[in-house]
Amino acid sequence: MANSFLTNQIVTYDALDVLENTDNALLKINSAYSDQFRFGGAVLGQTLSIRKPPRYLGRLGQAVNIEGVTETYVPLTLSFQRGVDTQVSSQDLTLSIDDYRDRVLKPQIVRLNNLIDQDVCNLAQGLNNFVGVPGTTPSALLTYLNAGVKLDNMACPMDGERYIFMNPRAQAATVDALKALFQSSSEIASQYKTGVMGTAAGFDWAMDQNIYVHTVGTLAGTPTVTTAPVSGASSIVTGSWTSTTLNAGDIISFISTSVPVNGVNPQSYQSTGEAMQFVVTATVSDSGGAITIPFAPAMYGPGTQLQNVTNLPAASTAVYVFDTAAASFAAITGKVSPQNLAVHKDFGTIAMVDMPLPGGTDKAYRASSKKSGKAIRVIRDYVATTDQWLQRLDVLYGTAVLRQELGCRIGG
């Protein structure tokens, strides 16, 4: 019996199946918000405000102490429309679906999935917790345990949804350094056979070639706080820099023995005993030695529901970059540093949504999965002059850091 054309509906659903089963590490993150874009149709640039749970101080004693309900929001914007386009012949469309999947679809989806994964990995730039040393590949178990401490101090759930994602170099160094320490003989045997980490130290470990790579700014001077910020500030005035540029994604902290600016546990409001870290949100350079640094999260002092520091930094408090004092800036300035990750699933989100179906084409279909939150559109049209079928695959999605406190960067 002669072969018949593969229908575009079959191709669309098979493309979704391949996309669902192409499993880059960071695509395990939260995808629960995809459905919230569906009402009224989703378009590129549309933004959804995701509500974060309020926090309360509580009281001691019988007297009522009414607290306001302070809700905060995270914007999630459909920023990315990505696709892979091909032209296939009439002969290609008479292949069996298995042949078509292997020859045409899989290479398309692998590339598409890789592009999506890069966008998700780049969320690392928005995280403020950091361990390790820029430019030094991590391998010691203590480095990863310290990342776990960061998450514990921020009340990160212990629910089996913690992951460590590392680039190939970090994975190789870590497997080699820790090959004798992991839980069971079968786990160690698996590491020898596959060169891949398993489950250890409270995390599932995975390799991802798309780990975000950060370049540390050009650092010089002996920077200090010039003007003490107020509670809720998301920028701070600093001085005594010398020919400095802080890059978006650099990590800063404020160090003082007399008035420590330590982080606090978001549930107990107890000091973590460690300096609170903030991420620089835009690239800035000094003017006459002064820099007003924009940062996240916003800084809230004692007595507020959103408190995240033990004290607001006073004037003359020293500014550290990547936990490095001014005297050692030369050791990290300009370093190119992969930002491996220790995260909970809910540190960030990807929302992938249904796209509109155009008219005037041969075939247009879309498919989505509630299980994975993934969606894809496939459009086919005929080019008569070349007897080719133009086929485009599209995805529309947005990514966002949901909860900074549930993620930690591990410098490499």
88 vs 225, residue with greater confidence: 225
Q: How far apart are CA 101 and CA 110, in angstroms?
A: 12
Q: Name the nearest CA neighbour of 348 among 408, 283, 396, 305.
A: 408
pLDDT recorded at residue 372:
80
- Do residues 232 and 88 share a domain? no
Other Cβ atoms closer than 10 A to 306 = 16
Domain endpoint, select from 297, 316, 334: 334
CATH code, domain with 53 = 3.90.1690
* Per-residue pLDDT tens over the stretch 306-356: 999 999 999 999 999 999 999 999 999 999 999 999 999 999 999 888 888
- Do residues 139 and 13 share a domain? yes
Residue the block writes with tokens 């989806």: 109
The number of CA neighbours under 13 Å toward the Cβ of 173 is 15
- Do residues 121 and 96 share a domain? yes
Query: Residue 63 falls within a domain, yes or no?
Result: no
* Per-residue pLDDT tens over the stretch 30-49: 888 887 776 546 677 788 88
Confidence of residue 195 (pLDDT cuts 50, 70, 90): very low
Domain endpoint, select from 291, 307, 334: 334
Least confident of 188-202, 274-288, 290-304: 188-202
pLDDT recorded at residue 184:
52
User: Which amino acid, residue 405?
Assistant: E
- Do residues 398 and 297 share a domain? no
Q: How far apart are CA 30 and CA 329, in angstroms?
A: 37
Considering just the CA atoms, what is the radius of gyration of the chain in Å?
Answer: 25
Query: Residue 271 falls within a domain, yes or no?
Result: yes
pLDDT recorded at residue 42:
66
* Per-residue pLDDT tens over the stretch 127-175: 999 999 999 999 999 999 999 999 999 999 999 899 999 999 999 998 8
Q: How far apart are CA 81 and CA 393, in angstroms?
A: 10
Least confident of 114-123, 234-243, 280-289, 365-374: 365-374
**Inter-residue contact 250 to 285 (CB < 8 Å):** no
Q: How far apart are CA 53 and CA 70, in angstroms?
A: 9
pLDDT recorded at residue 353:
86
**Inter-residue contact 176 to 138 (CB < 8 Å):** no
Can you tell me the mean pLDDT for 361-383?
85
Query: Residue 64 falls within a domain, yes or no?
Result: no
Confidence of residue 1 (pLDDT cuts 50, 70, 90): very low
Q: Total domain count for the chain?
A: 2
383 vs 271, residue with greater confidence: 271
Provide the domain limits for residue 82.
1-58+70-212+335-412
Q: How far apart are CA 124 and CA 408, in angstroms?
A: 8
Domain endpoint, select from 314, 334, 354: 334
pLDDT recorded at residue 3:
42
Confidence of residue 192 (pLDDT cuts 50, 70, 90): very low
Cα angle 238, 242, 248; round to 5: 60
